[in-house]
Amino acid sequence: MKEKLSALLDSELTAQECDAVLSAMQADPALHADWQQWHLVGDVLKQEHPILSPDFMSRFSERLAAEPIVIAPVAHRRKRDILRRAIAPVSVAASVAFVSMVGWQAYRGAAQTPASVQTTAQAAVNGQVQPMVAQAGNNPRLRAYLAAHRIDNGNVFASQDVMAVSYQEAPAR
Amino acid sequence: MMALAGMKWCAPLVLALGMALPAAAAPVGEVMPTPEAVQLLNRMARAPQDVSYQGVYIHQFPDHMEAVRVVHVRDGSFDAERRESLDGSAREYLRLGDQVSLYMPDGAPNVLDRHHANKLFPRQLPDQPEQLLAGYQIRLVGRERVAGFDTDIYDLEPKDKLRFLHRFWVHPDTGLTLKAAMFGTKRELIDLQVFSQLQMGAVNRRLLKPSHPLKPVPVEANPVNTVFADRQLEIRVAPQGFQLLRQIQRPMPGHDKPVTHQLYGDGLVTVSVFLEPFDSKVALGPSDQGMVNLYTRQVGPYLVTVLGEVPPETAFAFATLYQWRAR
């Protein structure tokens, strides 16, 4: 079953296999714990986002409730058929449910992580493992360059927060 | 309040007018022939300078959004513009002719570049917009209502893989851009600016009165020396459509000496190149930060860092413009 779980993690399963593994995970708490820890290790290794804090889920729910209406361009909207209209609310609900589940798993995972997992993963990061594309966000040098670039863009209103953050790190000029 | 009431009253009228008027000349879906494209671009570039308007627009970034109130008054030779942020920290911008004043609690830039000082939405097109046709082609892709007005939607499609798709929603009667968006390589939204409320026509000059203590910011008008001092560093010609706009020496945290900052632009986006002595501790290769792509490369004794709101290919292409000539 662990191979199946690993394959699920790598998105290599068919829809039916996914369902099977997911229900197995629901039945077997040990499998569920593995799933969370693998994700945590992946998160630490990839450093795509900060490790989620234990109160992630409650804060996420609050912010979801307070979310403003997102204004996004509607490209060439065609007439939607009745079926799609009927399905839309369902798919929205499904998305929310999915995000909630992922968030909840992350919350559980973070809460239950033995310290050793984190240390091992961190050691791996400090070793040879190098991500293909680095994130500039945690590099003060690149952050200063980003800020300089934005100033020269001339958009005095944009990205003030980013600029402010970058300048906090800068010594007196 | 008056303005709002006027707006309510005006919108249906203008809407009806807009529908009654004949559509733009170019048919939907075809690439616009060059003469028409030039005409359209010039109209779009002139409109925000010639039309008086006031309203509120939303600037949406991938991770956050901001609302800005904008007032532009054009009356003969009188040309003034005031902007005020409505979200986050209070910021204000006032332009009287070419003189810009700012209020920024986080510290205003010491100097603004002439090329960019007055290029805020909806006036982001360059003064000589024909240059855009070197890198983009234009297509009318549809019509849509924005802020209560009917608009024509024009795509500025990249002619190569070095830029992103830009889309403009243009008010047909005035040529004013009511909405502008930039999309990434996967058609994901990178940047969006859109009026949520707008009134065009006569605007009361009293709305230009600043609400914060503003500080004048000098606008650099003199052409900046764009030749790099070390002639052993060969700098090749930038990709089609891009021009070297300026070169400045910029003090940077962690550097004893200023870093050379070269700025390129194609009229819609800019690319920054930073030149500094090579440092073996710095990671080379591609990286990204939100909508910005970066590329870092060693060239002889120099470290070249390229970044901009451009595809990763562009950052790499600019990095390879810099070559070391061994003696």
Examine the domain organization and report whether A162 and A98 are in the same domain. Answer: no
Among A residues 22-81, those touching chain B with beta carbons less than 8 Å apart:
68, 70-74, 76
Interface of A with B in 101-160 (CB under 8 A): 133-137, 139-146, 148-149, 151-160
CB contact under 8 A, B285 and A135: no
> Does A77 map to a domain?
no
- Chain B neighbors of A144, CB-CB under 8 A: 252-254
Best mutation target among A74, A77, A145 (most B Cβ atoms within 10 Å) is A145
Say which residue, A74 or A39, is predicted with more confidence: A39
Q: How far apart are CA B63 and CA B179, in angstroms?
A: 19
Give SS3 for B107: coil
Q: Which chain B residue's Cα is nearest to A78?
A: B142
CB contact under 8 A, A160 and B289: no
Chain A residues touching B310 at Cβ < 8 A:
none
Specify if A161 maps to a domain: yes
Same domain assignment for residues A147 and A110: no
Residues A163, A121 share a domain: no
Q: The tokens 């879906």 sit on which residue? A: B29
Q: What is the DSSP string of B144-192?
A: EEETTEEEEEEEEEESSTTS-EEEEEE-TTT--EEEEEEE-TTS-EEEE
Please list, in sequence order, all residues whose beta carbon lies within 8 angstroms of the beta carbon of residue A124, skipping any fewer than 6 positions away: A45
Beta strand A134-135 pairing with B285-289: parallel
Distance CA B3, CA B103 (A): 25
Confidence of residue A86 (pLDDT cuts 50, 70, 90): low
The CA distance from A36 to the nearest CA of chain B, in Å, is 27
Q: Do B106 and A164 touch (CB under 8 A)?
A: yes
Which burial class, exposed, middle or buried, applies to B118 when counting CB atoms under 10 A from its CB (0-12, 13-18, 19+)? buried
| Residue A96 distance to chain B (closest CA, Å) | 19
User: Per residue of chain B (327 residues), what is the pLDDT tens digit?
Assistant: 444 444 444 444 444 444 434 344 556 788 999 999 999 999 999 999 999 999 999 998 777 788 999 999 999 999 999 999 998 888 898 999 888 888 887 666 666 666 666 678 999 898 889 999 999 999 999 999 999 999 999 999 999 999 999 999 999 999 999 999 999 888 888 889 999 999 999 899 999 999 988 888 887 765 566 778 888 888 999 999 998 888 888 887 777 888 898 989 998 998 999 999 998 888 888 888 777 899 999 999 999 999 998 999 999 999 999 999 887
Can you give the residue range of the structural domain that contains A89? Answer: 2-70+82-126
Selected for mutation to probe chain B from A157, A159, A162, A169 (highest B CB count within 10 Å) is A157
Both A56 and A100 in one domain: the answer is yes
Q: Do A171 and B288 touch (CB under 8 A)?
A: no
Residue A25 included in any domain: yes
CA B111 from centre of chain: 18
Q: State the nearest Cα–Cα gap between A47 and chain B, in angstroms.
A: 13
Give B44→chain A minimum CA distance, Å: 19
A-chain residues near B283 (CB < 8 A): 134, 139
pLDDT band at A60 (very low <50, low <70, confident <90, very high): confident
CA distance B139 to B121: 21
Quote the number of domains for chain A. Answer: 2
Scan for tokens 């996967």, then name that residue.
Answer: B186
- Given a cut of 50, whether residue A74 has pLDDT beyond it is yes
A156/B59 touch (CB, cutoff 8 Å), yes or no: no
Is pLDDT larger for residue B210 or for residue A52? B210
Angle in degrees, CA B98, B99, B105, rounded to 5: 135
A113 and A143 share a domain? no
Contact A173 B251 (CB under 8 A): yes
Chain A residues touching B292 at Cβ < 8 A: 136, 146, 149
Within chain B, where are the H helices? 2-20, 34-50, 312-319
Q: Which two three-digit tokens encode residue A24?
A: 């197995």
Q: In this structure, are A37 and A90 located in the same domain?
A: yes
Residue A165 lies in a domain: yes
A119 and A140 inside one domain: no
Residues on chain A touching B181 (C-beta within 8 angstroms): 73
For the segment B122-181, what is each residue's pLDDT rounded down to a tens digit?
998 988 899 999 999 999 999 999 999 999 999 999 999 999 999 999 999 999 999 999
pLDDT of residue A169: 32
Nearest CA-CA distance, residue A67 and chain B, Å? 11
Nearest chain A Cα distance for residue B260, angstroms: 11
Distance from CA of B208 to the nearest CA of A (A): 17
Is the pLDDT assigned to residue A139 strictly greater than 50? yes
**A148 is a domain residue:** yes
Say whether A141 and B282 touch across the interface (CB within 8 A): yes
Say yes or no: A95 and A153 in one domain.
Answer: no
Q: What domains, with CATH codes, occur in chain B?
A: 2-220 (2.50.20.10), 233-324 (3.30.200.100)
Query: CA–CA distance from B95 to each of A120, A152, B57, B76, B202 (Å)?
Result: 56, 18, 18, 16, 18
Contact residues on chain B for A160, CB-CB shorter than 8 A: 88-89, 91, 104, 106
One domain for residues A62 and A90: yes
The counts of H helices and E strands in chain A are: 8, 1
Cβ contact, residue pair B272, A135, below 8 Å: no
Q: Which helix (H) or strand (E) holds B67?
A: strand B65-75
User: Which among B95, B99, B92 is positioned nearest to B81, based on CA atoms?
Assistant: B95
CB atoms within 10 A of CB A156: 25
Q: Do A148 and B274 touch (CB under 8 A)?
A: yes
- The residue assigned the tokens 């986050």 is B88
CB pairs under 8 A between A and B: 129
In a domain, A140, yes or no: yes
Report residue B146 as tokens. 């924005």
Task: Indicate whether A143 belongs to any domain.
Answer: yes
In chain B, the residue whose alpha carbon lies closest to the alpha carbon of A146 is B307
* A27 token code pair: 């039945």
Same-domain status, A107 and A145 = no
Residue A75 belongs to some domain of the structure? no
Instruction: Specify the pLDDT at position B281.
Output: 82
Same domain membership, residue A88 and residue A156: no
Q: Are residues A59 and A26 in the same domain?
A: yes
Lowest mean pLDDT among A97-101, A126-130, B74-78, B95-99: A126-130
Q: Min CA distance, A40 vs chain B (Å)?
A: 22
Q: Model's pTM, two decimal places?
A: 0.65
Q: Do the Cβ atoms of B251 and B258 come closer than 8 Å?
A: yes
Pick the closest to residue B85 from B59, B106, B64, B111 (CA basis). B59
* Whether ipTM exceeds 0.85: no
Q: Which helix (H) or strand (E) holds B84?
A: strand B78-85
What's the rounded Cα separation, in Å, for the pair A77 and A147? 37
Is A171 touching B (CB cutoff 8 A)?
A: yes
Tell me if B189 and A171 make a contact (CB, 8 A cut-off). no
Banded pLDDT at A78 (limits 50, 70, 90): low
